Amino acid sequence: MASHIVGYPRMGPKRELKFALESFWDKKSSAEDLQKVAADLRSSIWKQMSDAGIKYIPSNTFSYYDQVLDATSMLGAVPPRYGWNGGEIGFDTYFSMARGNASVPAMEMTKWFDTNYHFIVPELGPDVNFSYASHKAVDEYKEAKALGVNTVPVLIGPVSYLLLSKPAKGVEKTFSLLSLLPKILPIYKEVISELKAAGASWIQFDEPTLVLDLDSHKLQAFTAAYDDLESTLSGLNVLIETYFADLTAEAYKTLIGLKGVTAYGLDLVRGAQTLDLVKSNFPKGKYLFAGVVDGRNIWANDLAASFSTLKELEAVVGKENLVVSTSCSLLHTAVDLVNETKLDDEIKSWLAFAAQKVVEVNALAKALAGQKDEAFFSANAAAQASRKSSPRVTNEAVQKAAAALKGSDHRRATNVSARLDAQQKKLNLPILPTTTIGSFPQTLELRRVRREFKANKISEDDYIKAIKEEIKKVVDLQEELDIDVLVHGEPERNDMVEYFGEQLSGFAFTVNGWVQSYGSRCVKPPIIYGDVSRPKPMTVFWSSTAQSMTARPMKGMLTGPVTILNWSFVRNDQPRLTFNDL
């Protein structure tokens, strides 16, 4: 039984790529230095998967900034403002598109579906002259092959690339991006031909837009694209990978009808209905890459449950045609649990970061092949049971409070006009009062003070004194500017989510649980592992301290619950709606 990983984090277990990128951007290191760090990371990732027993190992999922920007480079779709004159796209043009430069702004960045990753949006129009301008996919395939690892090169699929693009400035908003399909397919054919010549036997096209609610015209574009590519793909095994949600019945029908396609990768974590579609109709002789290990979260897989699902699928698609996979790229989870030195053993036993998920995928594949690691499965079952029964997870007071909530609790007892009248009598604000959103810039000195307090190098009294001094500066500045409603600047806060999570029960925090947000920017999401409660006041001290410094109104600043939820690794043992209720 075979195993597959859709993609893997690029930053490195301790953000090695981040620091190499920023050093290069600051002109403290050379392009060769950056390339060496990148090559070492790629090599270690491929070796890790190979040593774990993964059969279908991806290449070209590494990126210096963003995989969609890599596709833009491959297609030579560089906006004219960057002054690119053809040839292989180098770092100067690539990073100018990503970050802008002294002369021109960067390309737009937006969220990658409903994740917290952001991609660089292609800017396209009828006059774009596409050309094969980045050989990265072929180069990285050859690089892995030279290391003795035969990989599956991964490309953003042509239809998803266009559907994720936007009309360039000056192009009509109604311009059909899909009309460019005949112009980009020749580039894809060149890449495919080079990969075949280099020895590739499999190729993976990521077509995540198939999970969107697409009309028939857009679905027909997939059919047209792969019809056109069919002869070029001849001799290759072709995997179409989808993720993040269910496929509609029409999208599934389109997917399994694509010509020249050998295998289908499906997210079976967020795609329960897709599982039903597979059971009701799966094309004979095709491979199913079953995404049963969650690539979006950090919880250990319930191996027994996944094994049961896989056995059901085995009866549908055939033993030899079932491949165990991740639900999506592991880009969206932390890298390696081994580097977490401050999490206690109980919580760690409930978790699996990217490196551990690779092991889980292979363990499931081996179990299906009759080589079940009983000790590994038993330890996993024990951890699952521990998590379900742990008093750290279930808080009776929270459960009772949640159960007692009524619909009326979500609505205020007084109407808006009454509240506005009371507010005006209390605050006497002008018709258009001025204020700021909340946080002021965190200076290097401020960060030093917080870092030293955390390391016990200064006393709590010294820390409070320093924060009060910073708040006083912020208050004085706002009064000088005649701001009506003041803020305290939030100098005591390290992160708008982490600060509150550290004061709530049911949250855990990592040391190296970094996840790429965009470029070199990484975030370290809190882990919500149990029922959430507030043991003590969180902001009263600093808000009241700030209010004592002024006669003007001082806002209390809270990060909202939906933001905390969306910027955390949340529990997978209850619906997300439950968190919103608490």
What is the domain-level CATH number for residue 570? 3.20.20.210
CA–CA gap between residue 62 and residue 81 (Å, rounded): 27
Instruction: Please state, in angstroms and as integers, the Cα–Cα distance from residue 554 to each residue in 345, 420, 436, 534, following that order.
Output: 43, 17, 11, 23
How much is the mean pLDDT over the chain?
95
Domain of residue 560, residue span: 416-512+531-581
Structure tokens at 53: 């027993």
Chain segment 216-233, per-residue pLDDT in tens: 999 999 999 999 999 999
346, part of any domain: no
Helix, strand, coil shares of the chain as percentages rounded to 5?
45, 15, 40
Residue 254 has pLDDT above 70, yes or no: yes
For residue range 459-512, list pLDDT tens digits in order.
999 999 999 999 999 999 999 999 999 999 999 998 888 899 999 999 999 999
Alpha-carbon distances of 246 from 105, 220, 268, 275, 337, rounded to whole Å: 36, 19, 8, 9, 29
Token pair in block for residue 516: 């790429």
Q: Which residue has the tokens 């190499």?
A: 20
Is 481 contained in some domain?
yes
pLDDT tens by residue, 419-451: 999 999 999 999 999 999 888 998 889 989 999
pLDDT tens track for 135-177: 999 999 999 999 999 999 999 999 999 999 999 999 999 999 9
Checking if the pLDDT of 411 tops 90, the result is no
Q: What confidence score (pLDDT) does residue 577 get?
A: 62
Q: What values do phi and psi take at 2, rounded to 5?
A: -95, 160
Looking at the structure of the chain, the number of domains it has is 1
> Average pLDDT of 294-299?
97
Which residues, other chains included, contact 263 with Cβ-Cβ below 8 Å and sequence gap of 6+?
237, 238, 239, 240, 286, 287, 288, 289, 323
Q: Whole-angstrom distance between the N-terminal and C-terminal Cα of the chain? A: 43
Output the pLDDT for position 102.
93
Coil/strand/helix, residue 451? helix
Residue labelled with tokens 């301790």? 14
Q: Rounded mean pLDDT of 380-390? A: 96
What distance in Å separates the CA atoms of residue 113 and residue 41, rounded to the nearest whole number? 26
Answer with the residue of higher pLDDT: 238 or 581.
238
In 3D, which of 411, 373, 397, 324 has the Cα closest to residue 55?
Answer: 324
Query: Which of 366-369's residues contact partners 24+ apart within 8 Å by CB, and which partners?
Result: 366/1, 366/53, 367/303, 367/307, 368/1, 368/307, 368/310, 368/311, 368/314, 368/319, 368/322, 368/324, 369/1
Q: Which of 319, 293, 317 is nearest to 305 (CA)?
A: 293
Let me know if residue 296 belongs to a domain. no
Mean pLDDT of 14-21: 98
pLDDT of 438:
84
In this predicted structure, what is the pLDDT of residue 576? 66
Residue 275: predicted pLDDT: 92
- DSSP per-residue codes, 386-444: HHHH-TTT--HHHHHHHHT--GGGGS-SS-HHHHHHHHHHHH---SS-----SB----H
pLDDT given at position 1: 75
* Structure confidence at residue 380 (pLDDT): 98
Mean of pLDDT values over 202-227: 98
Residue 271 confidence (pLDDT) above 60: yes
> 265 - beta bridge partners?
241, 289
- pTM value is 0.92
Name the residue with tokens 């043992």: 573
- Per the structure block, which two tokens stand in for 173? 């908003």
Per-residue model confidence (pLDDT) at position 582: 42
pLDDT value, residue 6: 98
* Sequence-ordered alpha helix ranges (H) in 53-135: 67-74, 91-99
H or E element: which one contains 530?
Answer: strand 527-533
Cα–Cα distance for residue pair 48/433, rounded to 1 Å: 58
* 348 occurs within a structural domain: no
User: For 173-200, what is the mean pLDDT?
Assistant: 98
Cα–Cα distance between 579 and 582 in angstroms, integer? 5
Query: 140 in a domain, yes or no?
Result: no
Report the alpha-carbon distance of residue 375 to residue 513 in Å, rounded.
27
What distance in Å separates the CA atoms of residue 333 and residue 353, rounded to the nearest whole number?
Answer: 6
Residue 215 has pLDDT above 60, yes or no: yes
Token code pair at residue 207: 């077509």
Chain position carrying tokens 């496929």? 247
pLDDT band at 581; cut points 50, 70, 90: very low
Instruction: Provide the pLDDT for residue 580.
Output: 47
User: By the 8 A CB rule, do 333 and 356 touch?
Assistant: no
Integer Rg of the chain from CA = 26
Neighbouring residues of 499: CB distance < 8 A, sequence distance ≥ 6? 492, 493, 559
DSSP characters for 324-392?
Answer: EEESS-GGGS-S-GGG--SS-HHHHHTB--HHHHHHHHHHHHHHHTT---HHHHHHHHHHHHHHHH-TT
Q: What distance in Å separates the CA atoms of residue 278 and residue 273, rounded to the nearest whole number? A: 9
C-alpha torsion angle, residues 563, 567, 571, 574 (rounded to 10): 40
Q: Output the pLDDT for position 412.
A: 86
The reply to whether 545 falls in a domain is yes
3-state per-residue secondary structure call for 166-182: EECCCCCCCCCHHHHHH
